[in-house]
Amino acid sequence: MRRLRRWFIVVGAVVLLGFAAAIILLRQNLTASMSIGGEPVVVDIGAGTSLRGVAALLAQQGVLRYPRSFALYGRFTGRAARIQAGEYEIRGGTTPLEFMDQLVSGQVKLYALTVVEGWNLNDLLAALRRHPAVVQTIESANPVVMAEALGLDVGHAEGQFFPDTYRFPRGTSDVEILSRAHELLRERLGEAWKSRRAGLPFDTANDLLILASIVERETALDEERPLVAGVFVRRLEKRMRLQTDPTVIYGLGQDFDGNLTRRHLKTDTPYNTYTRRGLPPTPIGLPGEQSLRAAANPDQGAALYFVATGNDDGSHFFTATLEEHNAAVAKYLARLRERKN
């Protein structure tokens, strides 16, 4: 009886030692860094792929040295049933355990699209079409049709998306990205509208958005945006025409060849602020946050005119009278001639 008991003790000890050794080995296999070179490895896990299939794929690519340990651990911990499909990026130094955390939490590889301040709708759509990770679903670039398709609360899609950097997984549709950009625009526009100065010569947040889009196209200097907005607000108050070139160019559309002429300024369109009073019917591009703030709180000076200085910084002269403006224009033209010579 004692011999039998000793035998059971010995066998039990051997089993426990073997089990402990297996656990130690398994842990070593799962905590050693995966075989990643200088560049991250991207793996695409299709829907319905088992953890064993993932392990086999990684082993085939030479990334995972111990696929059985990987699959076994996932099975016994219940994590094998929780992995999520998608495109994953494995960086140098990542362990199999850390990668399994990625699979379970769905930390897929994210791509980026930067929407630039001042872009118009065509620029934005072109960037979406060029992006290799975006699924193309938009059939019409017509801004009225797009507004309806996207369910916007305005009837024209121009200017309705906020310039920012958007991150998303491969397979995201263009409509999803535009919807996110529109929601952010409504949020930023709402903040600007709430903080607006009293007595502005327009009644809706969309009017503020239109003015901000003009400010965005007129100057690239943040410190000038309130000054430019102030000029246009005072012109609206005095019922003067805005006479801003970017609106004319937008109204010309494909007919604009890069050279704005007197004939263009006299060609009447809904966006020609030389021939029509008031704001144009829609934004002419995507204003950034600084332009929204400037339109909501324009400078309260006296300037009614501005013209480029001709300096490399893109700055402008701001003047209160036509005589001062004409002198500033003459100075600008002289600067151009000087540079040309």
The pLDDT-based confidence of 18 (bands split at 50, 70, 90) is very low
pLDDT in tens, 328-338: 999 988 888 88
Task: Tell me: pLDDT of 58 over 90.
Answer: no
Q: What is the pLDDT of residue 1?
A: 56
* Tokens, residue 153: 């609360």
More confident residue, 31 or 296: 296
- List beta partners, residue 44: 87
CA distance 272 to 241: 10
Please check whether residue 231 is in contact with residue 301, taking contact to mean a CB–CB distance below 8 angstroms.
no
Q: Which residues pair with 312 in a beta bridge?
A: none
Locate 109 and state its tokens.
């590889």
Interval 69-90 mean pLDDT: 88
Among the residue ranges 58-72, 162-176, 246-260, the one predicted with the least confidence is 58-72
Rounded CA-CA distance 151/164 in Å is: 21
Q: What is the pLDDT of residue 235?
A: 97
Task: For residue 88, give the amino acid letter.
Answer: Y
In order of their start, the domains of the chain are 15-105 (3.30.1490.480), 110-300 (no CATH), 302-341 (3.30.160.60)
Q: Tell me what the mean pLDDT of segment 212-226 comes to.
A: 97
Percentage above 90 pLDDT, the chain: 64
pTM for the whole structure: 0.85
CA distance 31 to 230: 62
C-alpha atoms less than 13 angstroms from C-alpha of 108 in its C-beta half-sphere: 19
**Per-residue model confidence (pLDDT) at position 5:** 57
pLDDT in tens, 263-314: 999 999 999 999 999 999 999 999 999 999 999 999 999 999 999 998 888 8
What's the pLDDT score for residue 162?
A: 98
Measured CA to CA, the distance from residue 141 to residue 147 in angstroms comes to: 10
Which pLDDT score is estimated for 337?
Answer: 84
| Mean pLDDT for all residues in the chain | 89
**Between the ranges 21-35, 60-74, 167-181, where is the mean pLDDT highest?**
167-181
Q: Which of 206, 230, 237, 250 is nearest to 118 (CA)?
A: 250
Residue 106: which of 41, 165, 47 has the closest Cα? 47
What is the per-residue pLDDT for 27? Answer: 61
